[in-house]
């Protein structure tokens, strides 16, 4: 993780140096803005819809797990009540059946956790792709040379508030999203 942070820092330093050299030699003003990624994703309707869809899928998965868990508990209770009248062979078979169901439940839970993680990543990447494409089009349309992303994890320590175009980006994204959702 430290290697990645170091590489990010080095890339940022090189980018700033290239920018400074470019400004110095080209003599033209560089148009730079930034977007607050947390604010953008919080206010973008496409992200809200994606999160809601994920929550709905997750609720269905949880309900399935709860049903299977209830089945296992019920079978254990049935076994405990009936075990006094069972032969040893029947007890062994019942315990094996319960054990097999518990293992299937555990495997199902593991598979669902993996599926949920993949689905979360997929949905988030789809939204980020939409956002990045829009920001790219916005930057070209408004003559920006750079549009930086500010977040808690970014290397941007300070940017003048007048360079914040987050609200414009959110408004445009939401208008585009609303238009495409019709």
Q: What is the pLDDT of residues 61-110, one digit of tens each?
A: 999 999 989 999 999 999 889 888 989 999 899 999 999 999 999 999 99
How many CA within 13 A on the CB side of residue 56? 6
Q: What is the pLDDT of residues 134-180, one digit of tens each?
A: 999 999 999 998 898 887 777 777 778 888 899 999 999 999 988 77
Residues 96 and 118 in one domain: yes
Residues 97 and 129 in one domain: yes
Report pLDDT for 138: 95
Report pLDDT for 6: 65
Report the alpha-carbon distance of residue 140 to residue 123 in Å, rounded: 26
Give the range of the structural domain holding residue 7, as residue numbers without chain letter. 1-26
Residues 72 and 156 in one domain: yes
Report the alpha-carbon distance of residue 162 to residue 61 in Å, rounded: 45
Cβ atoms of 142 and 108 closer than 8 Å: no
Residues 20 and 43 in one domain: no
Residues 18 and 86 in one domain: no
Residues 19 and 62 in one domain: no
pTM: 0.69
Neighbours of 109 (CB within 10 A): 15
């Amino acid at each position: 993780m430290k290697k990645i942070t170091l590489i990010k820092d080095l890339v940022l330093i090189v980018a700033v140096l290239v920018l400074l050299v470019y400004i110095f030699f080209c003599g033209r003003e560089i148009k730079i803005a930034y977007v607050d990624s947390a604010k953008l994703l919080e206010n973008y309707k496409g992200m809200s819809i994606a999160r809601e869809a994920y929550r709905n899928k997750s609720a269905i998965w949880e309900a399935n797990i709860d049903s299977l868990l209830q089945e296992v508990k019920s079978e254990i209770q049935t076994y405990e009540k009936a075990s006094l009248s069972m032969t040893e062979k029947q007890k062994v078979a019942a315990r094996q059946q319960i054990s097999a169901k518990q293992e299937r439940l555990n495997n199902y839970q593991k598979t669902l956790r993996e599926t949920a993680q993949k689905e979360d990543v997929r949905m988030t990447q789809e939204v980020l792709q939409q956002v990045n494409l829009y920001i790219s089009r916005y930057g070209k349309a408004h003559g920006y040379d750079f549009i930086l992303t500010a977040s808690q994890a970014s290397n941007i320590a300070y940017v003048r508030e007048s360079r914040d175009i987050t609200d414009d980006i959110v408004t445009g994204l939401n208008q585009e999203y609303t238009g495409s959702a019709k």
